[in-house]
Structure 1
Amino acid sequence: MVAIITGDIINSQIDQSSDWMRALKAYLVNTGETPGDWEIYRGDEFQIKTTPENALRMAIQIKAIIKQIKPLDVRMGIGLGKVTFLASSVSQSNGEAHQRSGRIFETLREKKLNLAVVTGTEKEDRTLNLILSLALDFMDSWSVVSAEIVQLTLGNPTESQQQIADRLGINQSAVSQRLNRARMDLVEDLLQYYESVIKEIKV
């Protein structure tokens, strides 16, 4: 079983600098090879192959990266399942994961949602997507500062608040305040719940 993330950049036509592409590529080069594991195409769309357990964490990291560039945001559909046709590029490969990711991604604009997941288990999908829609209420509203602290925290899971403070050149209490504003505690709870659901599905 693999996870496919299909996404596009919201308001990309407003940002002529392509800063988002540089930032996204800088993250993705550390996750795998292009075009087999990830690919950016049609100017502002992308597709990524990862493990089911890591998919939501990766999606939230990408959201945090893109939200640091105003007025951009990102829409992503996560699909889990098998790959039945493996091509040289992730976007040309096919299978359950690709189809589920593509289908849920196509519904996001109409539903006015920026993130959803299809695991193939209807009951779990309903619960996960309800929780995700509630979490998006604050994640869609992250400021540049909130997005930055989320990216640093998820990207450096072993670092203490003091170490992150040293990276940013601020004190530890300021890091704590930023984490609270970003609702990082709820992000971590969401990720733990998602990962526990995926483990049950895979058993």
Structure 2
Amino acid sequence: METWAIFTGDIVKSTAMTRAELDAVFARLEEAADAVATWQSQPTRMTRFRGDGWQMAVAPQFTFRAALVLRAAVRRSGKTADTRFGIGLGDAHFAGDDLSRADGSALVRSGHALDAMPRARRMNAPDAALGLRAALPLADRIAGRWTMRQADVAYYMLAPEPPVQASLAQQFDLTQQSVQGHVDAAGIDELREVCDILEERMTAH
């Protein structure tokens, strides 16, 4: 069995959404899953279940970065759209691309992490290393305040190899100065620094 970070999540206040709104959120999540798969050169096996639930498999070194990109992806679909998820790190054995057929300690821990989520939180990884456990609550506070436009910029700029700001400005019909303003307001440079430190530590072990 390989070591994985399994994310088990659901969509916040999904019962207040129309089917089209919920489908739009999942379209953004699928897009993010495809992006994360390119970082790790392995599929994320994104699986939707029980209407508003989802699971995803992420290479452990990208846990923190993926958590941020997933929060950004969902916020891009609506100004109050959000997701919460528990993260479990450990062994995982896959049976095809559907995570509902997978097993291993990472999946068990992930489910427990979601069930034990503190009420005000959106991200929880109680069994993770100290650095990730310390970083997640702070990142949770930052990501929860992103506007849709800040989430647009964060989604791309938090990737391991982000685009140049000029191309992002063109994509969103913004000035480069405006993109930099969103980068600053969303705390992206600081979050990238934490991503890099956590990934460097995990790769070194």
- Give your verdict on TM over 0.5: yes
CA deviations 1:77-111 (Å, max 9, x no partner) are 1111112x433321221112111111111111x44
Q: Secondary structure at the match of 1:77?
A: strand
Q: Secondary structure at the match of 1:82?
A: strand
1:74 paired residue number: 83
2:11 paired residue number: 9
Distance in 2 (CA, whole Å) between partners of 1:169 and 1:194 is 33
> Retained in 2: the 8 A contact 1:150–1:182?
yes
> Retained in 2: the 8 A contact 1:9–1:45?
yes
- Give the root-mean-square deviation of aligned CA atoms: 2.1
Within the candidate set 42, 49, 61, 2:50 is matched to: 42
2:26 paired residue number: 21
Distance in 2 (CA, whole Å) between partners of 1:158 and 1:6 is 26
Letter in 1 for 2:27: R
Distance in 2 (CA, whole Å) between partners of 1:49 and 1:146 is 26
> Retained in 2: the 8 A contact 1:75–1:115?
yes
Distance in 2 (CA, whole Å) between partners of 1:158 and 1:71 is 25
> Retained in 2: the 8 A contact 1:11–1:71?
no
Q: Which runs of 5+ in 2 are unaligned?
A: none
**Identity of counterpart residues, as a percentage?**
23
Number of residue pairs aligned between Structure 1 and Structure 2: 193
CA deviations 1:19-71 (Å, max 9, x no partner) are 112222233345366xx812001011101112111222222111101112132
Provide runs of 4+ in structure 1 moved above 6 Å: none
Q: Secondary structure at the match of 2:125?
A: strand
Residue 105 (str. 1) matches residue 114 (str. 2): yes
Residue 167 (str. 1) matches residue 175 (str. 2): no
Distance in 1 (CA, whole Å) between partners of 2:32 and 2:142 is 23
Shift of 1:155: 4.4
Distance in 2 (CA, whole Å) between partners of 1:100 and 1:22 is 26
TM norm structure 1? 0.85
Within the candidate set 94, 108, 111, 1:86 is matched to: 94
Distance in 2 (CA, whole Å) between partners of 1:114 and 1:172 is 31
Task: Say if 1:119 and 1:52 are closer, same or farther in 2 by CA, change over 3 A.
Answer: farther
Q: Secondary structure at the match of 1:7?
A: strand
Distance in 1 (CA, whole Å) between partners of 2:138 and 2:32 is 26
Shift of 1:135: 2.1
Distance in 2 (CA, whole Å) between partners of 1:139 and 1:172 is 22
